[in-house]
Structure 1
Amino acid sequence: MAQALDYRTLEAAATWYVQLNAAQPSDAQLQAWQDWLGKSQAHAQAWARVEKLQRQFGSLPADVALPTLAGVRARRRAVVKTLAMLLAVGATGWSVHESTPALALMAELRTAKGQRRQVRLSDGSQLELNSDSAVDIHFDGQQRQLRLYRGEIMVQTASDPAARPFEVQTAEGRVRALGTRFSVRSDDGQSRVSVLQHAVEIRPVDNPLLMLRLEAGQSVSFDQRQIGSTHSAAPGTGAWTQGMLTVIEWRLADFVSELRRYRPGMLRCAEGIADLRLSGAFRIDDTDTILENLSASLPVKVRYLTRYWVSIEAV
């Protein structure tokens, strides 16, 4: 029978999350965590609540997800308290302003990790959302605008009798379609645009006089002030719309980072195997099989601490 959990137990579960997530855990740390987990039903219940939050958020909210925080060591105690409070109130009681960005949570169109979505817009344009994405639609008599708060979209624009411009706005700037098919991805303070047909115009939000015309077959990243160097779009660009991830000579660490976009929970790659290379086409709807294939094709082993806590390590 489930029992009430006191704050001290929840704080202990939060502390274990911090310790296991701040660096590659040693075998001794993992054994100590497992010993703590097995000591009481309350410990198991508290850890189950951590896993529930991982499932609900895809990963824990950005404000408490330690790998993304600067100065983790200095803020560790504060983060433990914040996470323990989150565990205490549960996901439904947590203010959207204190977790993932409020606008993303309230966006008109959203996808969870591992989910994709296709939408036909009112003007006939086709919109596809990749995993863990959030978009608002703003169409009026003067413009057609999509606001991408996070994640990635693919757009196939339709001609408009009213000749309204079609734009995608991100935190970093604006992408104006010139009758085209293109993708936009926004994360970690950068937007990346790849054009499959025709062209787009890009303007950073804090440098609107800077403009780049990006042609079919090209890709570029930009932040709020600058636009990077244009290069050829990577092979397999847009393959996610068909449920595929195509890579050629990727570092294992980069591949795992990309795979995290499609798999709820924690997925880690040990530093010692980060530079291993792999190529192939992988079905992103079945990340368990992808992990099995990794251990079969590379000198690595996949350790499941729980269903939502996976570590890729050297053999």
Structure 2
Amino acid sequence: MNPDITDCMDGSVAEQGVQWFLINRDGALSDVQRRAFLAWLRRSPEHVRAYLRALDLHRQVGEAMPAASSDLLEGMLMEAGARRPTAKVVPLFARNAVSNAVPARRGRRRWAALAAAACLVLVLGASLSRLWPQEQVLAAGHGELRELVLADRTEVRLNADSAIRVRMGWLDRRVELLRGEASFDVAPDRRAFEVQVGELRVRDIGTVFDVSRRLQNTRIGVVSGEVEVWRGDSDQQRLARLVAGRVVLVDNDTGAVQPLDMPASMLLDWQHRKVSFLDERLDEVAAAFNRHNRVQVVIEDDAAAAMRLSGSLDADRIVALQAFLARDPRFKVQRRGDTVHVHSR
């Protein structure tokens, strides 16, 4: 931004919007001015709205008032929020003390300026959805597996009873895993891609990865590429950098990272409606099955919840899980209606 622009870009956002409008009316912007103007627009959606308000005020008042009222029009614009910029600015309408040959030229210029302003409004209006971060919540229902393609072409697969909040901004792409499990095949883009799970943030580095929000921890596995795992907001701490084939558990309370010796094929078994578990707590196994079934597994005591299991079963076959647990001498299993109760012996 050159010194003249820097000098005039003060005051409120509304003032700056009118100042930029007046500077644009001086003709084609230089490369420096154009970059400064675009940077100002991208800084905040409020900047875009301020500029659109200045354009709209110019259009409405300019059409309703004769050229002889140009002083009043410019006064209204300045009163709406701008001091006269120190940069060279052409008045909104030519003064009356001009030769008779000027009004026709002035009228043509005014209509050309209005047409240009209208085109700019359309362009900015079409771009507003990209400047303003788009946020939406996407979910898979109970027992449902869902495949999605985000606006940036990232492919997402949601496990049953899972939900994410997606925010596509100008400078970044953020996904919050609200519950359950999701895998991401991240599309190349200049914007960073980040998945938030509680206080954890998983930053993509060109990756296919899986994130599971669990009872005591968060499981993160990388199929290809790399991710970084961070904790905290203002005082951030990098916990791990994971390459392809790595799977870890991150404790939800302490942030402690525990590596898992789990193949990627097992990590993504849920996409084929299987629940695979390797040295897993029973309460985590039960939660995985409960996402898929009307019949729910209830763990009745802490001792049973903490016992560890390994196996692989069809996600929608709760009878198979019931039989699997009944064969284990550590458990007492009872089925009452739509509930399977599991106690420790």
Q: 1:134 aligns with which of 150, 163, 187?
A: 163
Helix, strand or coil at the partner of 2:191:
coil
The 1:247/1:192 distance shift into structure 2, 3 A limit, reads closer
**Alpha-carbon deviation of 1:278?**
4.7
The 1:147/1:238 distance shift into structure 2, 3 A limit, reads same
**Alpha-carbon deviation of 1:154?**
0.6
**Alpha-carbon deviation of 1:159?**
1.5
The 1:275/1:230 distance shift into structure 2, 3 A limit, reads closer
- Output one character per residue of 1:112-144: Cα deviation in whole Å (capped at 9) or x when no partner: 332221112222221011122111221233222
CA distance in 1, matches of 2:306, 2:217: 24
* Alignment-derived partner of residue 154 in structure 1: 183
Task: Give me the TM-score of the superposition, normalised by structure 2.
Answer: 0.51
Matched, 1:213 2:241: yes
User: Following superposition of structure 1 onto structure 2, how do residues 265-304 of structure 1 map, counting pairs within 5 Å?
Assistant: 266-269=296-299, 278-295=309-326, 297-299=327-329, 302-304=333-335
- Output one character per residue of 1:163-209: Cα deviation in whole Å (capped at 9) or x when no partner: 11111122213211001111112244743322121211122124643
The 1:310/1:209 distance shift into structure 2, 3 A limit, reads closer
**Alpha-carbon deviation of 1:289?**
3.4
**Alpha-carbon deviation of 1:109?**
1.0
Helix, strand or coil at the partner of 1:290:
helix
**Alpha-carbon deviation of 1:288?**
3.0
Q: 8 Å contact 2:289–2:316 — kept in the other structure? A: no
Q: 8 Å contact 1:205–1:224 — kept in the other structure? A: no
CA distance in 1, matches of 2:219, 2:304: 27
User: Following superposition of structure 1 onto structure 2, how do residues 1-315 of structure 1 map, counting pairs within 5 Å?
Assistant: 108-160=137-189, 163-188=190-215, 190-206=217-233, 208-211=235-238, 212-222=240-250, 227-235=255-263, 236-250=266-280, 252=282, 254-264=284-294, 266-269=296-299, 278-295=309-326, 297-299=327-329, 302-307=333-338, 309-312=339-342
**Alpha-carbon deviation of 1:243?**
1.2
- Output one character per residue of 1:8-30: Cα deviation in whole Å (capped at 9) or x when no partner: xxxxxxxxxxxxxxxxxxxxxxx
CA distance in 1, matches of 2:335, 2:290: 15
The structure with higher relative contact order (CA 8 Å, sep 6+) is 1
> CA RMSD, aligned part only?
3.2
Aligned length: 206
Identity %: 28
The 1:266/1:164 distance shift into structure 2, 3 A limit, reads same
The 1:267/1:201 distance shift into structure 2, 3 A limit, reads same
The 1:237/1:226 distance shift into structure 2, 3 A limit, reads same
The amino acid of 2:158's aligned partner reads L
The 1:230/1:314 distance shift into structure 2, 3 A limit, reads closer
Consecutive unaligned residues of structure 2, counting only runs of 5 or more, are: 1-134
Helix, strand or coil at the partner of 1:288:
helix
CA distance in 2, matches of 1:253, 1:224: 16
The 1:107/1:266 distance shift into structure 2, 3 A limit, reads farther
CA distance in 1, matches of 2:204, 2:227: 5
Task: Give me the TM-score of the superposition, normalised by structure 1.
Answer: 0.55
* Alignment-derived partner of residue 93 in structure 1: none
Consecutive unaligned residues of structure 1, counting only runs of 5 or more, are: 1-105
